[in-house]
Amino acid sequence: MVTVWDYLPYILEGVWWTLGLVAGGLALGFIIGLPLSIGQVYGHRILKLIVEIYAWFFRSVPLLVLLFLFYWGIFPATGYKLDPLTCSILVLGFRSGGYQSQIFRGAIQSIGEGQYIAARTLGMSKLQGIYHIILPQALRIAFPGWVNEYAIILKDSAICFVLGVMEILTRTRYVVMATLEPLLPYFIAGGLFIALTYGGTKLVNMVYEKTKIPGLIGRM
Amino acid sequence: MSDDIVLKVEDLHKNYGNVTVLKGVSFEVRRGETKIICGPSGSGKSTLLRCLNLITRPDKGRIWLEREEITNRNININKVRQKIGFVFQEFNLFNHLTALRNVSVGLEVVKKMNKDEARKIALEMLKKVGLEEHAHKYPAELSGGQKQRVAIARALAMNPAIIFYDEPTSALDPQLIGEVLEVMKALAREKVTSIVVTHEMGFALSVGDEMLFMYDGKIIERGIPQEVIQNPRCEEARRFFQRINELYVGKRR
């Protein structure tokens, strides 16, 4: 007889898919969120408003709704037929961009205007001041918030099962259906998420410790 | 305008909303001169300095730096600011950089110097302010007086035509003021052109060439520091220096 344990490798393979969703979503969220945060702090009034609306939209609509909206609505309507994985990564990324923009905005604002003005008085341009003086500090200060974002997006990625992305939960559900045994498979799935949360935050905290600067503190 | 004039300011005005902060300020700074600006808080001293390097745009009036009109809209302001050193009350060191990098970063980023060359100049400047052995430390590891000396080195490194000091010792504990003033005096004796907003009358008396007394957005009295401090003509200045004198004597006791 086939037991749940025979399906373990099948479930474990889902870890790669989950990590793919998380890495893709976080990376895209970073690429979107960082410029947005700079725009929100240093940009023109209209730019600030656009960023605010963006962040507000993606933080207010449930992920499940966003997934359906983009997969069945927006992408097909604009002529793109995306596969579930790509669509999920994009949606996770758009949404994380909204959250990350607020993490970075807070970090930038906590640095204070003085150092930026000092950079400008040396003759640095706006962009040089932001790039050389503000961002190296803001990224360090944002680190704890960013680790948090990793944990959140990791757990949220499970919702992508609704589009049939072959991540941990999707596979677990198939195993449950095949074995008619729900308890152990879902325990395994939960354990995998715990391990990924723990391992991931440990890893990034190690990077954080390495890049720490005396007196420049981000709270962990 | 003669070559001797580093900075010329003509009829500077600045409003913040309904509040008029500067009401027509004019003066000149000669090469090698140490110009002292003092006056009660709210008289427009800091705003004046910020207008002079266009961190704040004046509403009216003109400014020339080494014969170039910098209030002209077509000018590259980043180029102009390289020639104006600025030392802040709150130091504003870059917290993620060592003392050495604080001084060299402007040379690298703005003057496009290579790292070694910038490092060499930065070390020289730190030596000048007596901090070469602290070059590797981060701002959080330095005392207030040391931070301000790094800030002075940072301004000096750019080889500016003039340095502005905006109440450079006001945020320091009394026992740390001396080390900063010593550095500033040494620079003044080397004829580094500067404008110093300060209430340190000892400093003004020993190295100040001219003192401007500001009140309510205008310069209402000017002259050699000793005259202005000890024998002010207007009532506002007399009251101000009396208060400073009481505070100064009280602090040193």
Angle, CA A179 vertex, CA A174 and CA A181 arms, to 5°: 100
Query: With b meaning 16 or more CB within 10 Å and e meaning fewer, what string describes B49-62?
Result: bbbbbbbbebeebe
In angstroms, what separates the C-alpha of A106 from chain B's closest C-alpha?
17
Which pLDDT score is estimated for B249?
A: 64
Q: Which of A122, A130, A212 to mutate to test the interface with B (most CBs of B within 10 A)?
A: A122
Which pLDDT score is estimated for A217?
A: 61
Residues of A with CB under 8 A from a CB of B: 111, 114-115, 117-125, 128, 132-133, 136-137, 140, 213-216
- Mark yes or no for CB contact A118/B88 under 8 Å: yes
- Integer Cα distance of A31 and A23 in angstroms: 12
**Which residues, including other chains, have CB under 8 Å from residue B176's CB and lie 6 or more apart?**
B143, B144, B145
Q: What is the mean pLDDT of residues A16-33?
A: 96
Q: Are strands B5-16 and B19-30 parallel, antiparallel or unpaired?
A: antiparallel
- Say what the pTM is: 0.88
- Mark yes or no for CB contact B86/A118 under 8 Å: yes
Start-to-end C-alpha separation, chain B: 47
Q: Which of B87, B108, B109 to mutate to test the interface with A (most CBs of A within 10 A)?
A: B109
- Chain B residue numbers with beta carbons less than 8 Å from the beta carbon of A120 are 55, 81
- Chain B residue numbers with beta carbons less than 8 Å from the beta carbon of A214 are 138, 140-141
Q: What percent of chain A has pLDDT over 90?
A: 80
Query: Which of B79, B88, B96 is the closest to A137 by Cβ?
Result: B96
pLDDT tens for each residue of B214-252: 999 999 999 999 999 999 999 999 999 988 888 766 555
Looking at the structure of chain B, the number of domains it has is 1
- Chain B residue numbers with beta carbons less than 8 Å from the beta carbon of A128 are 109-110
pLDDT tens for each residue of A110-158: 998 999 999 999 999 999 999 999 999 999 999 889 999 999 999 999 9
pLDDT tens for each residue of B164-176: 999 999 999 988 9
Which pLDDT score is estimated for A1?
A: 67
Q: Quick one: closest CA in A to B137, which residue?
A: A214
pLDDT tens for each residue of A187-203: 999 999 999 999 988 98
- Integer Cα distance of A63 and B235 in angstroms: 70
Beta partners for B7? B29, B65
* DSSP secondary structure code for residue A127 in this structure: H
Domain that holds residue B146: 92-159
- Chain A residue numbers with beta carbons less than 8 Å from the beta carbon of B156 are none
- Chain A residue numbers with beta carbons less than 8 Å from the beta carbon of B96 are 133, 136-137, 140, 213, 216
Which pLDDT score is estimated for B251?
A: 56
pLDDT tens for each residue of A34-44: 999 999 999 99
- Mark yes or no for CB contact A214/B138 under 8 Å: yes
Q: Are strands B194-197 and B162-166 parallel, antiparallel or unpaired?
A: parallel
* The three-state (H, E, C) secondary structure of B193-223, written as one string: CEEEECCCHHHHHHHCCEEEEEECCEEEEEE
Beta partners for B219? B214
**Which residues, including other chains, have CB under 8 Å from residue B144's CB and lie 6 or more apart?**
B91, B171, B172, B173, B176
Q: What is the mean pLDDT of residues A167-189?
A: 92
- Mark yes or no for CB contact B94/A133 under 8 Å: yes
- Chain A residue numbers with beta carbons less than 8 Å from the beta carbon of B139 are 215
Q: Using 50, 70 and 90 to split pLDDT, how confident is the model at B8?
A: very high
Which pLDDT score is estimated for A219?
A: 42
Specify the CATH architecture of the domain A4-210: Orthogonal Bundle (1.10)
